[in-house]
Amino acid sequence: MKQAKNIIGIIVSVILIVLLLNPQWLPVSAQTAETMGELKLEHFLIQRSGAITTAHLLTLLLAVAVVWLVYTIIRLILAAVGRRSDHAATVTTLVAGSLKYLAVIVASVWGLSILGVNTTAVLAGIGIIGLILGFGAQSLIEDIITGLFVIFERQYEIGDIIILDDFRGTVRSIGVRTTTIEDPGGNLKIVNNSEIRKLQNRSRANSIAACEVSVAYDTDIPRMEAILAEAFPKMYADHRDIYLAPPRYLGVDELGDSGIKLKIIVDCAEPKVFAAKRQLNRDVRILFSETGIEIPFPQVVVHKG
């Protein structure tokens, strides 16, 4: 849908530019068309003397249409490049965000120049104001600089699963100022880049899903270990879409009050770590039920006096 809107916008912009480049096709006076021709010969740059005319307004519209057309085409190119990889998507998203601000600045300066405003003085004034605001907007500058370091150091990228404080989610966008993270429930967390510290990137390597299960103290441990070793390859064969390798038995993890606690793990991709844990728990429970291995649970004995 968004792609179709962009294409329609480009077509409309091209038609508008063609019409404005040929003012004789428009229902305007000959004088207005001639003035527009003079403005175009000056590349839309003119120091105006006198009142703003229809030609100035039409030429201003032409300049805005050109800037919007160029911006939209570059954004579509960046979107196509960003689909190649997560890193490309991260970089192109940041560039597209910066490009939006640049397009606004170019259109504003160009438009003021068409209307006859001394843009040199305007830019100088903007520079002074920007310097003054810079001292009061240190957090904004820190957000932008931190965002650049995130991109160049590749701390995380779009599509990575990260844990920030107690929030675990997938990075959906990295902007000039903020990063957007989405958790499995679809909730979005928008964080200033400068506030992202001590994060865990869970997408750089395979993850591990763990199953901790207890067996009764009278369990024949060597027999149980042999049953597990025989069952693991079949578990892997049945769930290759979740498991990256056969599960592994790590041994006795703890001697509990009512049972012997075992630990079993399996390699999986980070996006499927919870699914792998649920499936591993299910596989182990079914296996123990079929082979008669008891999983103890607290019981209350009541004596009738």
Closest listed residue to residue 40, CA positions, set 24, 25, 55: 55
Domain parsing of the chain, residue ranges: 2-136, 143-201, 207-291
Count other C-beta atoms under 10 Å from residue 305's C-beta. 3
Q: What whole-number distance in Å separates Cα of residue 46 and Cα of residue 111?
A: 10
**The CATH number, out of the four listed (3.30.930.10, 3.90.226.10, 2.30.30.60, 1.10.10.10), of the domain defined by the range 143-201:** 2.30.30.60
Count other C-beta atoms under 10 Å from residue 292's C-beta. 9
143-201 and 207-291 in the same fold: no
Give the amino acid at 9: G
- State the fold for domain 207-291: Alpha-Beta Plaits (3.30.70)
User: Given pLDDT bands bounded at 50, 70 and 90, which one contains residue 200?
Assistant: confident
Rounded to the nearest 5°, which phi and psi values hold at 31? -65, -40
Q: How do residues 122-146 score in pLDDT, each as one tens digit?
A: 566 566 555 545 555 566 667 777 7
Q: How do residues 204-230 score in pLDDT, each as one tens digit?
A: 778 889 999 999 998 899 999 999 999
Dihedral sign computed on CA atoms, order 104, 105, 107, 111: positive
Decide if 193 contacts 146 (C-beta within 8 A).
yes
